[in-house]
Each structure stands twice: as structure tokens, then as C-alpha cells.
Structure 1
Amino acid sequence: MTGVLAGFAVIAIVIVIGYVSGRTGVLGEQPEQVLSRLVFYVLTPALLLDKLATTDVAVLFSDRLVVSSAAALVIAALHYGIARLLWRRTLGVATIGALASSYTNSSNLGIPIAVFVLHDTSYVAPLLLFQILVFSPIALTLLDVTERRGQGRTVPTWRTAITPVANPIVVGALVGLAISLMGWHPPNWLMSPVQLLGDASVPLALLVFGLSLGGVRVLAKGDSPRRDTVLACALKMAAMPLVAWAMARFLFGQTGHALFAQTVTAALPTAQNVLVYSLRYNRAVTLARDAGLITTALAIPVIMGVAALLT
């Protein structure tokens, strides 16, 4: 449990620094808007390129990928269906809600947990691959279409088709995966700048999260979409780990450490990327922020509970 607490302590400290920076105004007015674009367009693509270029392809395409991706899709579809069909939410709000309930913090929290608790980063790599190469393109395409429609612009079929591959985050992931598949080892002078930029992605995303908390209250009446947020948090922290556990246990016969690791991976909180996406497209920002904060706070007791039951 020391590893779990250490991982969360690191994240909490950086978030607090971002919060204090926002409250004191040392970064000017609305710095989260500029910094979130920097994370979205430059730093996260560099991080994914670097990580995927050095990951063993055999590990990426395994039963771990099937369990992680299927659990995320089931939960996302459940939230999206409730939001769109029952609550009549807009496409943009339903998309952010689906991401908040299923898009896992597999990098800035998943990697520390994998190192300190699971002792194996290969459990989060398949989930990272799925989220970037499949989940993000679908969600970002929907958000791009929503943004253009909101601006009164028509959306040609060809533009919708190329939206996923035109997204900088997806491009970075695709380039990294291509390097891994080819078995190419780029020279240090080429990869060192990419790694340097990628290393800044995690702390800056956490700073953006902290900055977004300034002057706001979680689940504030009249401001927060409470029903959507509670649904997203319940699905992310309870339903998704349960679905992943059931699939890993009964479909693939996983037991012991493998089953524990698969369940812990699904129990990680909502990624800060969801807030970055919501800020970029100005859709359901409060929902993304509140879900990220609440699930991060719940992650410690949930992961400890998983550890108590499965180890």
C-alpha cells in the first residue's frame, strides 16, 4: 500500500502547486486555456510517440488489451446511452461524460501505480494504446463534428473520415507504433527532444488540472451537472473494475497477480486528458473537472479495497 500512497502523493503535490498558482495569479488570467493547448498539440503527442516507440508489440496486442478495451467500451457505451437516450444530453456533453466514466489515467497515475504496486508497466501499455489509437479518435471525431456544427459549418464526409488521423495526439501515437512495428531505433539526437517534450506532458497536465480548480466548488449547485458527474464517477470507480475483473477471471481464466493487476488498472481514476479535451472543445468542462477530482480522491480507497480482496 505504500506504493499506492506514494503514487497519489506525487500527483496531489503537483495538482496543489497548479491550484496555488491559479489562485495567486502568477501565470496571468486563464492560463489553463493556453497550457491545455500546449499539452494537447505538442507535449502529449511527444509522450505517446516516445512511449509506444519503445514498447514491445507482443505485450501491446495481448489478452490484457482485450480486457482493458472491452471494459472501457462497455462503460462508455452505457454512460453515452443513458446521457443521450434518457437524459437527452447534447452530443458534446454525452461524449465528455462517456470519456469521464471510462477514459483511464493510464499515464500520469497508471505508470507510477504500475511501477510501485504492480511492478510491471506492461499492464498499462495496452490500455494506453487502445485509448489513444481507438478511443480518442472516436471521441475527438465526435467533438470535432460538434464544434464545426456549433460554428454553423457543414461537415463534409471526407473531413469527418480524416479527423482521427489529423489529430496531433493520434498522429504521435501512430508514429510511435510504426517505429515499434518496424523495429527501428531512431538516433538519440532525434528522439532526445521528443522525450524531453514528452516528459513535460504529465506534470503540465496535472498543473492544468490544479489551475482549473481555482475558485470553483466540486458538485456546486447550479453549476455542476451533478447527475452526469455522479453517474460517471460510479461507472468509473465501481462498474469498470467489476467488468474488467469478470472478463479477466471468467473469459481468460486469469488469477493471482494477473487478475489483481487487470482490476487495479481498470480502477484508476479519470484521466486529466478528459479535462484537456473538454477545454479544447469547450464542452462539459465542469463535468470533466469534477469527475477527475472525485475519482482521483476515490482511487486510493478503491485500489486498497481491490488489494484487500484479491491479494
Structure 2
Amino acid sequence: MSGVVQGFTVIFIVIAVGYVLGRTEVLGPDAQQVLARLVFFVFTPALLFDSLATTDISVIFSSTLVIAGGSALLIGLAYFVLARLVLHREIPEATIGALASSYVNSANLGIPIAIFVLDDASFVAPLLLFQIMIYSPIALTALDLTALRDAPGRITLRDTVIAPLTNPIVLGGAAGLVISLAGWRLPHAVAEPISMLGNASVPGALLAFGLSLTGVSVLRKGESPRRDVALASVLKMIAQPLLVFALSYWLFGERGHHLFAQVVIASLPTAQNVLVYATRYRRGEVLARDTALVTTVASIPVIAIVALLLA
């Protein structure tokens, strides 16, 4: 459990720094918007490029990829359908909510938890690859096609093809994957600045999250879409871990430490990157913010219960 405490301590301290910066207005009134765009357009693409370019892809393709990826897609799809049919949300808000209900905080919290609790960071790698190369492109393409259109109209085939090709996060991940598959190694003078920029992605996203909390009340009546947040939080913190347990236990026959690891990773909270995406597209920002905070707090007892039952 000490690993869980360490992981959450790190994340809360950086968020608190962002909150203090917002309260003191040291960075100006537009700091959160500027920092979120910097994370979206520069830091995160660099991180994805650097991570995938230096990763042995053969290690990633395992049952964990199927379990983590499949569960995320199913939970996200469940939210999207409920948001559209029951809550009557527009596609951009439903897409952000789908991400909030299933997009795992696999980098800034998942890696420390994997190292300190699971004693093996490789459990997070398949999920990172899935979220980078499959889940993000699907969601960001949907947002590109629905949230950024200047005028209403039919989505053309050209729009569908071009949208992912102009998204910096998708491009960064794809370029890194190509480098890894080809077995190339970039010159140190090129790789080092990319790595430096990528290292700023996680703290940048956390700081942006802290800045977003300034002057707001989480789950505030009339401002926060409480039903949406509740649905996303329940799916993320209850349905996703249970689904991963079912898939791991009955479909793949996993037991012991592997089963424990799969469920712990699924019990991680919503990634702060969802707020970065929401800020970029100016849709579902409060939903992303409130769900990230609620699931981050809720994940502490959830992971503790998983540890007591399965560790």
C-alpha cells in the first residue's frame, strides 16, 4: 500500500501547485488555457513519440493489451450510448464523457503504481499503447469532426481521412511507432530535446488540472453536469474494474499477481489528459474536470479494496 500512497502523493502535490498558481494569478488569467494547449500541441506529442520510439513493441502485444483495450472501449461505448439516448448529450460532450469514464491515468499515476505496487512497469505499457494509438485517435477524430466544424453539415469522407492526420497527438504517437517498428535510433542531439519536451507532459497536464480548479466548486449545482459526472465515475471506478476482473478471470484464466495487476490498472482514475482534450475543443470541460477529481479521490479506497481481495 505504500506504493499507492506514494503515487497519489505525487499527483496531489503537483495539482496543488497548479491550484496555488491559479489562486495567486502568477501566470495571468489565461494560464490554464495556454498551458493546456501547450500540453496538447507540444508536450504530449513529444512524450508519445519518445515513449513509443524507445519501446520494444513485441513486449506490449499480450493479453493485457486485449483486456485493457477491450474493457476501455466497451465502457466508453456504454457511456456514449447512455449519454446520447438517455441524457440527450451532443456528440462532443458524449465523447468527452466516454473518455472520462474509461481513459485510465496510466502515465503520471499508473507508472508509479505499477512500479511501487505491482513491481513491474510493463503492466502499464500495453494500456499506454492502446490509449495512444487506438483510443485517442478515435476520440480525437470524432471531436475534430464534430466540435471544430465551422458550420453544420454532413461529415465527408475527406474530413474523416484528414482529421487524424492533422492531430498532433496522433501524429506524435504514429511517428514514434514507425521509428520503433523500423528499429531506428535517432541521433542524441535530436532525441534529447524531444525527450525533454515529453517529460513536461505529465506535470504540465497536472498543473493545468490544478489551475482549472481555481475559483470553481466541484459538482456545483447549475454548473456541473452532475448526472454525467456520476455516470462516468460509476463506470470508471466500479464497472471497469469488474469488467476487467471478469475478462481476466473467466476469458483468459488469469490468477494471482497477473489478475491483481489487471484489476489495479483498471481501478486507476480518469487521466488529466481528458481535461486537456476538453479544453482544446472547448466542450465538456467541467465534466472532464469534475470526473477526474471524483475518480482520483475514489480510486484510493477502490485500489485498497482490490489489494485486500486479490493481492
Task: State the TM-score, normalizing by the size of structure 2.
Answer: 0.97
Which residue in the other structure is 1:214 paired with?
Answer: 214
Match of 1:85, as an amino acid?
Answer: L
Which residue in the other structure is 1:294 paired with?
Answer: 294
Residues 114 and 121, structure 1, Cα contact 8 Å, conserved in 2: yes
Residues 76 and 101, structure 2, Cα contact 8 Å, conserved in 1: yes
Match of 1:23, as an amino acid?
Answer: R
Q: Greater shift after overlay, 281-290 or 157-166?
A: 157-166
What displacement does 1:137 show? 1.0
Question: 1:149 is paired with a residue of what secondary structure?
Answer: coil
Match of 1:34, as an amino acid?
Answer: V
What displacement does 1:150 show? 5.2
Question: 2:101 is paired with a residue of what secondary structure?
Answer: helix
Aligned mates of 1:307, 1:165 — CA distance in 2: 42
1:94 and 2:94 are equivalent in the alignment: yes
Tell me how large the CA RMSD over aligned residues is.
Answer: 1.2
Aligned mates of 1:170, 1:75 — CA distance in 2: 22
What displacement does 1:152 show? 4.6
Aligned mates of 2:152, 2:34 — CA distance in 1: 25
Q: Greater shift after overlay, 203-212 or 164-173?
A: 164-173
Identity of aligned residues (%): 59
Decide whether aligned partners of structure 1 residues 309 and 150 sit closer, same or farther in structure 2, where only a CA change above 3 A counts.
Answer: farther
Which residue in the other structure is 1:4 paired with?
Answer: 4
1:160-179 → structure 2 map (5 Å cutoff) = 160-179=160-179
Which residue in the other structure is 2:243 paired with?
Answer: 243
Aligned mates of 1:231, 1:288 — CA distance in 2: 12
Question: 1:118 is paired with a residue of what secondary structure?
Answer: coil
Which residue in the other structure is 1:75 paired with?
Answer: 75
What displacement does 1:59 show? 1.8
Residues 7 and 113, structure 2, Cα contact 8 Å, conserved in 1: yes
Aligned mates of 1:246, 1:165 — CA distance in 2: 36
Aligned mates of 2:148, 2:261 — CA distance in 1: 41
Cα deviation per residue 1:271-291 (whole Å; 9 max; x = unaligned)? 011000100001011000000
Residues 148 and 154, structure 1, Cα contact 8 Å, conserved in 2: no
Which residue in the other structure is 2:148 paired with?
Answer: 148
Residues 148 and 155, structure 1, Cα contact 8 Å, conserved in 2: no
Aligned mates of 1:255, 1:57 — CA distance in 2: 25
Question: 1:288 is paired with a residue of what secondary structure?
Answer: helix
Match of 2:77, as an amino acid?
Answer: A
What displacement does 1:185 show? 2.0
Aligned mates of 2:38, 2:253 — CA distance in 1: 43
Aligned mates of 1:293, 1:84 — CA distance in 2: 24
Residues 50 and 198, structure 1, Cα contact 8 Å, conserved in 2: yes
Task: State the TM-score, normalizing by the size of structure 1.
Answer: 0.97
Which residue in the other structure is 2:115 paired with?
Answer: 115
Which residue in the other structure is 1:85 paired with?
Answer: 85
Match of 1:92, as an amino acid?
Answer: P
Residues 61 and 126, structure 2, Cα contact 8 Å, conserved in 1: yes
**Unpaired segments ≥5 residues, structure 2:** none
Aligned mates of 1:70, 1:154 — CA distance in 2: 30
* Count of matched residue pairs: 311
**Unpaired segments ≥5 residues, structure 1:** none
1:23-34 → structure 2 map (5 Å cutoff) = 23-34=23-34
Question: 1:88 is paired with a residue of what secondary structure?
Answer: coil
Q: Greater shift after overlay, 284-293 or 54-63?
A: 54-63
1:39-78 → structure 2 map (5 Å cutoff) = 39-78=39-78
